[in-house]
Amino acid sequence: MSRQDTRPDYRHFPSEYSDLLYQYARDGQATLGPMPRNAALSARRDMYRFKMFLMHGIDADPEDAHCRALLAIAVRAVIHVEPVATEEPTGTHMLVVTTNPIVAAMQAIQNAKE
């Protein structure tokens, strides 16, 4: 049985997801949390689902500049879960958005040419 998402488009996701992508675009890295591990894994899954909805949003309305800008940011990013660094293990994790290593290498090559 496949899971059916009830959200019709990317606008029905929490605004924190857009904010996280914009923070990543501005700072080069973004975090969300701390939160329990299962919540962080769920947030990571939802962020990738949000990216999928952005792709569908471009297909549905190629003129949607906001969607296009968010997707341009999202395709450069890798989203992963990291434990919070503390002396004692707490079981809390952060959702971390960083630059895809392949994209970073391509940018370094491009910068070296200039």
Cα separation of 64 and 25, whole Å?
19
What's the CATH code of the domain at 91? Answer: 3.90.1030
pLDDT, one tens digit per residue, over 8-21 is 677 888 888 999 99
Q: Which two tokens stand for residue 114?
A: 């200039």
pTM greater than 0.95 (yes/no): no
Could you tell me the residue range of the domain that residue 59 belongs to?
10-113
**Residue 31 domain flag:** yes
**Residue 5 domain flag:** no
The tally of domains found in the chain comes to 1
Burial 62-83 (b: 16+ CB within 10 A, else e): eebeebeebbebbebbebebee
**Residue 96 domain flag:** yes
Measured CA to CA in angstroms, residue 77 lies from 2, 21, 24 at distances of 27, 9, 8
pLDDT, one tens digit per residue, over 49-83 is 999 999 988 888 889 999 999 999 999 899 999 99
**Residue 63 domain flag:** yes
